[in-house]
Structure 1
Amino acid sequence: MVNAVHETGVLMSTKSEQRKAVLREKLVHSAKARIERDGMAALRARDLAKDAGCAVGAIYNAFEDLNDIVMAVNGLTFQALGETVRGSFDGTEPPVDRLILMSHAYLGFAVDHTNLWRALFDLDMSEDGRVPAWYRAALGDLFANISRPLSELFPEMAEQELSLMTRAMFSSVHGIVLLGLQNRISGVPPEQIEQMIAAVLRRIGNE
């Protein structure tokens, strides 16, 4: 009898976890679609609940808060961004050309998925100074793609200096993309952003 009760409890717990997993997937899918369409600032719990067919309170049984949901969406976005950047080169190109190809792929992703891309950097992760391990890993993968051609360009550069230069280059490209997408600030038409990126990177490579 005790075993039967235990098995029933485990089964109920398993079903509960399955329902929770299904709800989490629905909420993330809905949030991703809404962020891509309307931007992160427009995300509302009641809209997600309506999309998922659940009560608003049920959201907070599946996720801690809306930021937690956006974080899950960002995980999918980072995965897609990484695949886009990695797919832009085959590794046989000269290092500067490889950097340009990756940067143009980064720009293309930002143009095609602007609101999702912005959410990667607009989400407040300052609370308690915690940054999720997957976020650090995703950035690490992105930086590794940049670091490899830089190490070919500057083989004598110390590891710490190379790490700083990698982050500086990412920040430079990211800044050009960000200001380029905010055309009213930079005054640069979108079609010229690629030329700006290439000019900066070729200058770094002394070409």
Structure 2
Amino acid sequence: MAGKVEARRAALREKLVELAEAQIVAEGLGSLKARQLAKEAGCALGAIYNVFEDMTALVLEVNGRTFQQLGATVRGSLEGAEHLDPNARLIRMSHAYLGYAADNTHLWRALFDVDMSTENAVPQWYMQALGELFALIAAPLAELFPEKDRDELSLMTRALFSSVHGMVLLGLQQRISGVPRDQIAEMISQVLGQIGKN
């Protein structure tokens, strides 16, 4: 009996994640509402909270899938790029990041728009996924700045990620400080191409 209950819970959990992901893809994180989600899943509103602590926990499950896709996209950009210099590899990864963000804007935005801070309990898998992304960035930076220690390199990696993320975000939001979509890649290339060069 317990096995059947757990199987039903697991099935409902998976269904809710899939429905939440579809809603975020269609209309963004702000459109995700528990009552509508329960209706689409064919369950009581309270059933959502039997399988997820709250809506943030549900969104984090969706974000877990998104992080896997994003990481695979960025890693994939490095295939066959071993012969390229560190700047070119950074540019490749950043262009892949831009491409993923442009093609999956609502899912990408949900990674950063979810109500979460480092002061609260951030899931370990979330920090691990972010750490894996940062490790990809840190590798070419370590080649460009071999004199940097681990802490300095970590800070530089986060600074570079924040810079690229900002350019992508402002560009895709079409903010006045951003540039048109077709120029974001060129702007990223110009900035990253100068890293480590005197």
Q: Taking structure 2 as the reference length, what is the TM-score of the superposition?
A: 0.95
Equivalent of 1:135, from 110, 121, 126? 126
Q: How many positions carry a matched residue from both structures?
A: 196
**Aligned alpha-carbon RMSD (Å):** 1.4
Where does structure 2 lack aligned partners over 5 or more consecutive residues? none
Aligned residue in 2 for 1:34: 23
The correspondence of residues 48-197 of structure 1 with structure 2, limited to 5 A, is 48-90=37-79, 91-92=81-82, 93-126=84-117, 129-197=120-188
Task: Give the superposition deviation at 1:184.
Answer: 3.2
Q: Which amino acid aligns with 2:191?
A: V
User: Sequence identity of aligned pairs in percent?
Assistant: 63
Tell me which structure has the larger Cα radius of gyration.
Answer: 1
Per-residue Cα deviation, 1:3-44 (whole angstroms, up to 9, x for no partner): xxxxxxxxx111111100000000000000000111111101
Which stretch has the larger CA shift, 119-128 or 173-182?
119-128
Question: What stretches of structure 1 move > 3 A for 4+ residues in a row?
Answer: none
Q: Is residue 19 of structure 1 aligned with residue 3 of structure 2?
A: no
Higher relative contact order (CA 8 A, sep 6+): 2
Task: Give the superposition deviation at 1:128.
Answer: 5.7
Q: Identify if the C-alpha distance between structure 1 residues 35 and 84 changes in structure 2 by more than 3 Å, giving closer, same or farther.
A: same
Q: Taking structure 1 as the reference length, what is the TM-score of the superposition?
A: 0.91
Distance in 1 separating the partners of 2:91 and 2:118: 35
Q: Identify if the C-alpha distance between structure 1 residues 187 and 157 changes in structure 2 by more than 3 Å, giving closer, same or farther.
A: closer
Distance in 2 separating the partners of 1:86 and 1:187: 26
Per-residue Cα deviation, 1:61-94 (whole angstroms, up to 9, x for no partner): 1111111110100000000000000000124121
Aligned residue in 2 for 1:3: none
Task: Give the superposition deviation at 1:187.
Answer: 4.6
- Looking at secondary structure, tell me which structure has more helix per residue: 1
